[in-house]
Each structure stands twice: as structure tokens, then as C-alpha cells.
Structure 1
Amino acid sequence: MARGRGRWLLPTRLLNVCLAALCRGGSLAVAESVLVDAIRLGLPPDVVTYNTLLAAHCRAAGLEAGLAVMGRMREAGVEPDAVTYNSLIAGAARRGLPIHALDLFDEMLRAGIVPDSWSYNPLMHCLFRSGHPEDAYRVFADMAEKGIAPCDTTYNTLLNGMFRAGYAMNAYRMFRYLQRAGLPVSIVTYNTMINGLCRSGKVGYARMVLRELGRTDHAPNAVTYTAVMKCCFRYGRFEQGLDTFLSLLDRGYVSDVYPYCTVISALVKKGRLGEANTYCDLMIQNGSRLDSVCYNTLIHLRCQEGKLDDAFELVSMMEDGGLESDEYTFAILVNGLCKLGHIEAAEKQLFYMEMKGMQSNVVAYNCLVDALCKFQEVDAAIRLLQCMKLKDDFTYTSLVHGLCRVGRYHMASKFLRICLREGNNVLASAKRAVIAGLRSSGCDDTS
């Protein structure tokens, strides 16, 4: 019997290697076919075989597909192990299913399978993301009670979860504890801290951690600097953000278009279009592959400069390269056309957008409603509003202001009431304009 087991050992390993390669390549159907052929030839799959398929099915089709593989596994007489349940718990975490993740963890314990750190990590991550930080802390405490050593990922998950739950300073204190205790603090940990502190508005703390990182053996990377740059721009520290981007360039860390897009967008908002153009040219010279976000940034820049021909040329380049115009593209184009008074061209863009199935692009519609009202074409704005599937506060605010400008206060009052009935609101200035207009026209009932 031992000789028989040895005879099949190598072929089963080869089968597992083959299945792993097929699964990594996304060829799940081929992998399943290979397994069927192997069983027909008398080659017995083992727990590694099924775990490989289970993890791939979980990633591709979700938790139910993974559970189906576990059912087949048991029918074949192969018992699940810790890796099996870890994959299922991770599958539940990816889908945001904390109850399923907890049930699988409990089932694992009842089966007498000892969990490891990779059983706890996705469970904590899922609980944090689902808005249950207290339960995530309890899971971490349970891990410590059972004497299971946390790994880098455990601490990074805990820190990231604290930031998501709004406990920025708790995360900062945990980070300091890790440093004092000599526990693993990797570049991922530093990036988690810097990004979390930036998102929480703790810019000073983030820059302090960044300076400390510069004194360690870990080299800051593009993720580190981009997080700080975004934070500086978000909280009005523009020059610091620009200096951070220049540091990225000096150190050769800019490997994709994302940092470029971030700084170009910030420069456009500041009205520094010349500098924005300089970085656009530099980005293209560096051979960066442009994605739809990058194209939208460039299109927005051209529209801000009033160079609509260049903007539409960029749209053509984007679509020729196999990328589709999205809702942001159309909103940028419609807004640019409206600002230059090209109302008919903006309407054509909306029509083209609808032809592509994007009828719910409320931002693009709002741009046109606002433009029509500013050009005192309020009846056209009303007709457009009635065609809109979605409306928001800005839609009604633009229309109410537009009606007040042409002295149609009773109509403005009507749309104000419709807006409130639909659960929307308008800016206080629009309400004041309606009330003042009704009073000036001799109407005392402004309730």
C-alpha cells in the first residue's frame, strides 16, 4: 500500500501544479476538465487539488461556488482543512458577508480544525469593512488568547480597520506600540499609517511618520508619496503637495499615470493651466499608458482652457485606443460646451450619451439645466428637467434661481414644493429668492 501511495504521489503533485497554473490564468473550465480526466484515469485528487479549485471558484464566482466545491470534496472522501476554510472565509469577506464569514469560522472550530492567522485576517477585515469594529477587536483578542501569532497582515488589517472606523489616534497608538515592542513594521504598515492619517486629516502626524520612514531601511514608494500628495491637496496645502510630487519625480517613483493625474487635477482647480499642461506633456513623453481617468483629466484641462477641438480630439484618441467614454467624460464635455455658450452642441452630447445608455448622468444634465437658466431659456430647462430620470438638489436650485431671474416667482415656488416633496432640498439662497420675489410681487402668503 505504501508503494501504491508513492506511485501516485508525483502524478498528483503534477496534477495540482497544472490546476494551479490553469486557475491563475482564469481557465477554470479547462481546470475542471483536467480534474475529470484525472479521476477517470484513476488518479486520486487530494486536499490540495480541491483547495486550488475552491479558491479559484471563490474569486471568480463568489462564496456559493466555493461551497459547492467543498461539497464535491466531501463526496470524494477528502476532508477540508484550514486552507479550505481560510479560502471560504476570504470569499465571504470579499463579498462583504460578515455573518457567513463568522458561521464558517465557527464551523471550522466545531470540526476540530485549528485556525491560523490567515483564518483571522480576512474575518477581521470583513467585520471592519461591514461596520462592526467591536466584533473585529474581539476576533483579534480571541487570536491572542489562543496563542496564535499575528503576522504583518494581521497588524496592517487592524490598523486599516481602525482608520476606517474613525479611530485614527487609536491606530497611531497601536503603531507606536508595534515599534516599541519590536514587532514587524513593513513598508505596507507605513503606507497604511500615512494613508490613514491623511484620510483622517492628521496631516502633521502623516508627515512625521513619513520622515521616520526616511530614517528606516524601508524605501518610500509611489504609494507613500501619492497618499501624502493627495492629502496635501485635499486640505489646502497645495505647495506641500506639489513638493511631494516633485520628490516623486526626483526619486524616479512615478511609474504610472495616477500621480500625474492627481497633480494635474489640482493645478487645473487652482487655475494654473500652464503648469498642468507641462506635466501633461511630461506624462506623455514618459510613455505612460493613458487610462480613462487620465484621458478625462486631460479633456477637463482642455475644456478649462476653452480648447474644445483639442478636447474632442482626445475623446477620439481615447475611443480609438479601445477605451469607452464614460459618465465623467460626457459631464466634462457638456460643462465645457455650456460655459462657452454652445447650448445646441451640449444638447447633442446629451443625446449621444443617451444613445450609449447613460440616461442617469445627473451631473451632465445639471450643467445644461444651469446653462439654459443663465441664458434665460427657462422653459427649455423645465422641459429638460421633466425628461430627467434622476434629479438632485442642484437641479432644482438652478431652475428655481433661473425662474426667479425672469420674474416667474409663482412657478419657482411650485418647483420648490415639488423638490421638497421628492425628498430633495435647495440652497437657502434659492428659498430666499423665491420668498423675496413673491413678496415684491404683492403675494403675502409665502408659507
Structure 2
Amino acid sequence: MARSRALLHLSTRLMNVTLAALCRGGCLDRAESVLVDAIRLGLPPDVVTYNTLLAAYCRAAGLDAALAVVHRMREAGVSPDAVTYNSLISGAARRGLTMRALDLFDEMIRSGVAPDSWSYNALMHCLFRSGHPEDAYRVFADMAEKGVTPSATTYNTMLDGLFRTGHATNAYRMFRYLQRVGLPIGIVTYNTMINGLCKSGKVGYARMVLKELGSTEHAPNAVTYTTVMKCCFRYGRFDQGLETFLSLLEGGYISDAFPYTTVISALVKKGRMQEANTYCELMIQSGSTIDNVCYNTLIHLRCQEGKLDDAFELLNMMEEGGLESDEYTFSILVNGLCKMGQIGEAEKQIWSMEMMGMQSNVVAYNCLIDALCKSHEVDAAIKVLHSMKLKDDFTYTSLVHGLCKVGRYHMASKFLRICLHEGNNVLASAKRAVISGLRSAGFKNDLRKVRSALYMSRLLRS
């Protein structure tokens, strides 16, 4: 008899392993079939069986589908445990259902199931993400009162939540508290701190924590360095960002092209083309896999230098490598061609773009319209505007300015009114140019219409 029970238990375990594999692969229908066949053969599902299904339904179909599994679970005489409720609370948190998460936590306690650290972590994460840091604090305090030991994930959840809700100083103080009391701090915690401090604009503090990390047993990884590097560039600390990249390079942490792309983009924006080229060569020599973003960065660099032949050679390499040019690629090429005065070639790129179904690429069209207007080819610019599916403020600003420069104030006022009617706007300089031009040309009726349109636009925006 004991041997029979042991075999039955082993068979249930094997069934659970099979269900888990099917659920991971997203094959919920097959998992359900396996469960039905197992019950028919006399294999009793246990709490692990239902928890496996419940977690899968939570991810794939939502909270209500998971709750239906709980109902089946109870009908089979299997009581939910902490893992069951943790999955449900996490499912509610993923979908921002804060009240449902709180209700499930209360139900868990009423059912006599003691919450563990994962229960509290999931609830705190949900409260932070929904903008309720004070309630998250209370949950953390309740955790201590109930004698539940916080895990590393608990503190990481608290730190991340504090940063998300704009309490960077409190997060920094908590981090220092964890260090003072000697709690183990891993690489995830350091990365959470560095990322949060960077996003909060506290670059100096982020670099300080990075330096401290270097003196611990935890080696900084590519995520750590790249986060600091991007932060430095974003907040104008260019030399510090470059220094961080060099540390990343010297430490052998670069495993892909992303850090190279980041520093190359920053160098291009600073106009330091020679250094950007040096890092381009290093990136290629390193054997890093170059994706669309990398190619676009390299093409942008060549266009900035006026080396259009090199830019198109890179485009050919990109397409031969099995990568497709995207809207950003075309925008870079059209802009580069326009700056070099090759408007005809820019128009060919626009035609190629249209053939590929990219008529929503507003940036590329805007570059062409701006170039046509600067060349006083305003009629051609108007044709381009009429062919566009989408238009924005810059589309109309370029055209209105262009029409004013050639003295066509009546047409400029017409397009300004169309722009306002469509809910767009133009720069203040364009508005002034139209009003001044209409006044000097004596177009009183058009001037009255423009002023009326501007007044109505201000009312609608207020």
C-alpha cells in the first residue's frame, strides 16, 4: 500500500513537470489535456499542479482566468497556499489592478494563509507602480511587525519604488542604511541604485556608487557602466561619460555594439568626428554584432561629414547583411542629401520610402520641404505637403516661412489657417512673418482671417 502511494506521488510529480514545460511554452490547451488525461487515469492533481496552471493563465489570459483555476482547485478539494496568492497578487500588479491586489492580500490572510516575503514584495511593487508610496511603506512596516524577514528582493523593490515615485534622497538613505547594518548587497541592488540616481539627475552620486562597487566583490557589468555613461551624456557631463566608456572598454565588459553606438552618437553631437570615426573602427574590429541602430548611427556620422558615398555604402552593407532600412535610416539620408544640396537625390529616397509603405515618415518629408523652401521651390514644397499622410508643426512652419520669403503672403496665410484648423501650430517667428507680410502688402481681409484663426486656436488650447 505504501509503495502504491509512493508511485502515485511520483506520477503526480512527473505530471507537474510536464505541465510546467507545456505552460512555459505557452501550450495551455495541451497542458489542460494532460491534466484531464491524468485525472481520468486516477492521478490526483495537487497544489503544485494548480499553481503551475494558475501562473500560466495569469501571464497569458489575465487575472480572471487565473481566478477560475482557483475555483477549480477548491472544487477538487485542494486548498490554495502562499504561492497561489502570490501569483494572483503579482498578476494584479502587472496589470495595475491595485485594489484587486489589496483585496487578494486581505483574502489570503482571512483564509489563514500566512503571507511570505514574496507576498509583501509583490504588493509593495504594485503600490509603488500605481503611485502610492505611503501605502507601500505601511506594507513594509507590517512585514516587520509580522516577523517576516525581508529578502534582497524586498529592499530592491523598495529602492526601485522610491526612485519611481520621485523619492531619490530617501532611496539613497535606505541604501546607506543597508550598508551600515551589514546587510548583503548584490549587483542587482547596485544597478538599481545607479540606474535610479542617473534617472533622477544625480550623476555625481551615481558615479560615487559605481566607484564603491568597484571595490566590492561584485564586478560591475555592462549594464552598470552603460547606465552611467548614458546618464553623463544626457546631463551634459561629456568627459565623465567618455571616461566611463573607457573604463567599460578597459575592463572587457563590452559584449555588443550598444555602448559603442552610445558614445559615437554623443561624439557626433559634439562635432568630434575624428574621435567618432576612431570608435567606429574599434567597434567593427571588435567583431560586435551591428544592428539597425548601429548602422543608422554610422550612416548619420557619414552624412554629418558630408561623405554621402560612404553613407550609401553602409546602407548596402546593412541590406546585404539581412537588415532592412527603417524610417530613421531614410530620414538620415534625406536630411544628409538636402544639406548637401542634392534635392533630386533626396526626392528619389522619398519615392523609395513611399514604395516601401513609409508615407508616415514625417521627419524625412519635413527635411525635403525645408530644403525646397530654402531653394525657393515653394510650389514643389506644396506638392510634397499635399502628398503627406501626416503633418506636424514643423511641416507648416517650413512652408509658411518659405512662402513669406518669396513674398507669397496670401498663400502663406492660407496654409497657416489650414495648419491651425488641423490642430497643428507654427513657430512664433512664422506667425510674425505672415502678419507683417499681410500688413505691408495691404491684405486686410487675410490679416483679419489669420488673427481670428489664431484667437480661436488659443481658445481651443486653453
Same fold (TM over 0.5): yes
Within 5 A, what are the aligned runs for 1:105-144? 105-144=105-144
**Can you list the C-alpha shifts for 1:341-380, whole angstroms capped at 9, x where unaligned?**
3434434444444444444332233222222222222233
Select between 334-343 and 61-70 the one with higher mean Cα deviation: 61-70
Within 5 A, what are the aligned runs for 1:269-348? 269-348=269-348
> Aligned partners of 1:109, 1:415: CA distance in 2, in Å?
65
Name the aligned partner's letter for residue 108 of structure 2: M
Q: 1:369 to 1:204 in 2, by over 3 A?
A: same
> Aligned partners of 1:36, 1:314: CA distance in 2, in Å?
57
Supply the RMSD in Å over aligned alpha carbons.
2.8
Shift of 1:252: 0.6
> Aligned partners of 1:59, 1:135: CA distance in 2, in Å?
26
**Can you list the C-alpha shifts for 1:361-404, whole angstroms capped at 9, x where unaligned?**
32233222222222222233333334434333222222222222
**Can you list the C-alpha shifts for 1:202-248, whole angstroms capped at 9, x where unaligned?**
11222222222223222222111111111111111212111110110
Partner of 1:288, secondary structure, is coil
> Aligned partners of 1:355, 1:120: CA distance in 2, in Å?
54
Name the aligned partner's letter for residue 274 of structure 1: Q
Name the aligned partner's letter for residue 205 of structure 2: Y
The answer to whether residue 169 in structure 2 is matched with residue 169 in structure 1 is yes
Could you tell me which residue of structure 2 aligns to residue 241 of structure 1? 241
Could you tell me which residue of structure 1 aligns to residue 258 of structure 2? 258
> Aligned partners of 2:60, 2:291: CA distance in 1, in Å?
24
Q: 1:154 to 1:3 in 2, by over 3 A?
A: same
Name the aligned partner's letter for residue 254 of structure 1: I
Q: 1:424 to 1:104 in 2, by over 3 A?
A: farther
Partner of 1:425, secondary structure, is coil
Which 4+ residue blocks in structure 1 deviate beyond 6 angstroms?
Answer: none
**Can you list the C-alpha shifts for 1:76-100, whole angstroms capped at 9, x where unaligned?**
4433222122223223333333344
Q: 1:411 to 1:156 in 2, by over 3 A?
A: farther
**Can you list the C-alpha shifts for 1:11-42, whole angstroms capped at 9, x where unaligned?**
22222223333434455454444334333332
Shift of 1:251: 0.7
> Aligned partners of 2:192, 2:130: CA distance in 1, in Å?
19
Could you tell me which residue of structure 2 aligns to residue 203 of structure 1? 203
The answer to whether residue 222 in structure 2 is matched with residue 222 in structure 1 is yes
The answer to whether residue 369 in structure 2 is matched with residue 404 in structure 1 is no
Q: 1:219 to 1:6 in 2, by over 3 A?
A: same
> Aligned partners of 1:410, 1:240: CA distance in 2, in Å?
53
The answer to whether residue 433 in structure 2 is matched with residue 428 in structure 1 is no
Structure 2: gaps (5+ residues): 452-462
Select between 219-228 and 113-122 the one with higher mean Cα deviation: 113-122
Could you tell me which residue of structure 2 aligns to residue 86 of structure 1? 86
Give the TM-score of the pair, scaled to structure 1.
0.89
Whose Rg is larger?
2
Name the aligned partner's letter for residue 9 of structure 1: H
Do the aligned partners of 2:303 and 2:311 also contact (CA within 8 Å) in 1?
A: yes
Within 5 A, what are the aligned runs for 1:6-25? 6-25=6-25
The answer to whether residue 16 in structure 2 is matched with residue 37 in structure 1 is no
Give the TM-score of the pair, scaled to structure 2.
0.86
Name the aligned partner's letter for residue 149 of structure 2: A
Shift of 1:432: 2.8
Name the aligned partner's letter for residue 231 of structure 2: C
Select between 103-112 and 279-288 the one with higher mean Cα deviation: 103-112
Identical-pair percentage: 81
Could you tell me which residue of structure 1 aligns to residue 191 of structure 2? 191
Q: 1:216 to 1:386 in 2, by over 3 A?
A: same
> Aligned partners of 2:54, 2:351: CA distance in 1, in Å?
46
Select between 408-417 and 160-169 the one with higher mean Cα deviation: 408-417
The answer to whether residue 419 in structure 2 is matched with residue 419 in structure 1 is yes
Partner of 2:432, secondary structure, is helix
Structure 1: gaps (5+ residues): none
Q: 1:139 to 1:417 in 2, by over 3 A?
A: farther
> Aligned partners of 1:341, 1:72: CA distance in 2, in Å?
71
How many residue pairs align between the two structures? 447
Q: 1:321 to 1:167 in 2, by over 3 A?
A: same
Q: 1:421 to 1:26 in 2, by over 3 A?
A: same
Select between 411-420 and 224-233 the one with higher mean Cα deviation: 411-420
Partner of 1:218, secondary structure, is coil
Shift of 1:321: 4.2
Partner of 1:407, secondary structure, is coil
Could you tell me which residue of structure 1 aligns to residue 454 of structure 2? none
Partner of 1:242, secondary structure, is helix
Q: 1:160 to 1:425 in 2, by over 3 A?
A: farther
> Aligned partners of 2:138, 2:263: CA distance in 1, in Å?
41
Select between 159-168 and 23-32 the one with higher mean Cα deviation: 23-32
Shift of 1:110: 3.6
Could you tell me which residue of structure 1 aligns to residue 96 of structure 2? 96
> Aligned partners of 2:326, 2:365: CA distance in 1, in Å?
14
Partner of 1:281, secondary structure, is helix
Q: 1:425 to 1:21 in 2, by over 3 A?
A: same
Q: 1:427 to 1:65 in 2, by over 3 A?
A: same
> Aligned partners of 1:319, 1:369: CA distance in 2, in Å?
27
> Aligned partners of 1:134, 1:413: CA distance in 2, in Å?
54
Select between 426-435 and 6-15 the one with higher mean Cα deviation: 426-435
> Aligned partners of 1:327, 1:64: CA distance in 2, in Å?
40
Partner of 1:198, secondary structure, is helix
Do the aligned partners of 2:410 and 2:443 also contact (CA within 8 Å) in 1?
A: no
Q: 1:144 to 1:215 in 2, by over 3 A?
A: same
Select between 383-392 and 177-186 the one with higher mean Cα deviation: 383-392
